[in-house]
């Protein structure tokens, strides 16, 4: 992407949240910052809990013209009136999911730190590819998606790219010219004021 284009914010929910409290916290963030998309990333496999959360977040998002995707639960997208799905298994199931969901649904793929997996996902029909973590984290195996990966992708591939995982203001400043979205979640939800935390994090974007 060109240096003059400001990356959009792709927000993720926490893996667990209080359904009574979180919607108000989320609404404040959605009203106080420009958000391009929201990912419902609850770790639960409780369908009723996922459905309840999706219903609440869908109203918040669609009232503000923000797309809402759900992590991995392909069958719930149409049933719950969501905009698409974020797949965490790279390129593996994209062709199948695209065939099932049709051309209009948003299908994104998390591809870790692997250029090859990202290319495969893009060729299979992903609307965006996410790489991460980009920052230092004690989780996982220590692998990081380096700046060179995003620089190469922005030069060679037209499919939008998301940088996510352990983001800092310095990383956002460094990667801004080479990414289309910053995937932000846990970086802000542990703060007492998530909106203030988000504004601090993305301050380098101006």
Does 187 have pLDDT greater than 50?
yes
Backbone angles phi, psi at 9, to 5 degrees: -100, 125
Residue 67 in tokens: 């797309």
pLDDT classification of 65: cutoffs 50, 70, 90: very high
Q: Which pLDDT score is estimated for 12? A: 98
The whole-angstrom separation of Cα 14 and Cα 39 is 9
Which whole number is the average pLDDT over 130-157? 95
Does 191 have pLDDT greater than 70?
yes
Residue 124 in tokens: 């299979």
Q: Which pLDDT score is estimated for 5? A: 82
pLDDT classification of 1: cutoffs 50, 70, 90: very low
The whole-angstrom separation of Cα 50 and Cα 73 is 9
The domain spans of the chain are 8-205
Residue 123 in tokens: 């060729």
Q: Which pLDDT score is estimated for 8? A: 98
Q: Which residues, 6 or more positions from 179, have their beta carbon under 8 angstroms from its beta carbon?
A: 1, 7, 150, 154, 161, 162, 163
% of the chain with per-residue pLDDT over 70: 98
The whole-angstrom separation of Cα 7 and Cα 100 is 30
Q: Is the pTM of this model over 0.85?
A: yes
The whole-angstrom separation of Cα 78 and Cα 101 is 8
105 Ramachandran zone, left/alpha/beta (phi>0; psi -120 to 50): beta
pLDDT tens for residues 33-57? 999 999 999 999 999 999 999 999 9
Which whole number is the average pLDDT over 137-141? 87
- 66 contacts 97 by C-beta, under 8 angstroms: no
Q: Which CATH architecture has domain 8-205?
A: Alpha-Beta Barrel (3.20)
Q: Which pLDDT score is estimated for 2? A: 35
- Taking CA atoms, 158 is separated from 161, 167, 192, in Å, by 9, 23, 38
- Taking CA atoms, 79 is separated from 21, 47, 54, 60, in Å, by 25, 11, 10, 18
Q: Which pLDDT score is estimated for 164? A: 98
């Amino acid at each position: 992407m060109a240096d003059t284009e400001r990356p959009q914010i792709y927000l993720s929910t926490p893996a667990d949240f209080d359904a009574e409290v979180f919607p108000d916290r989320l609404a404040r963030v959605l009203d106080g910052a420009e958000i391009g998309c929201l990912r419902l990333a609850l770790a639960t496999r409780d369908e009723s809990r996922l459905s309840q959360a999706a219903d609440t977040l869908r109203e918040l998002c669609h009232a503000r013209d923000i797309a809402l995707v759900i992590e991995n639960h392909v069958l719930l997208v149409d049933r719950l009136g969501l905009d698409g799905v974020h797949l965490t298994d790279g390129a593996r199931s994209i062709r199948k999911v695209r065939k099932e969901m049709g051309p209009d649904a948003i299908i994104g793929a998390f591809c870790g730190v692997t250029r090859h997996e990202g290319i495969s996902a893009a060729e299979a029909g992903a609307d965006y590819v996410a790489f991460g973590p980009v920052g230092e984290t004690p989780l996982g195996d220590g692998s990081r998606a380096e700046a060179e990966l995003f620089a190469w992708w922005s030069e060679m591939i037209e499919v939008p790219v998301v940088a996510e995982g352990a983001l800092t203001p310095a990383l956002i400043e460094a990667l801004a010219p080479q990414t289309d979205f910053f995937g932000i979640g846990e970086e802000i939800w542990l703060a007492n004021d998530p909106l203030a935390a988000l504004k601090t994090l993305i301050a380098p974007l101006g």
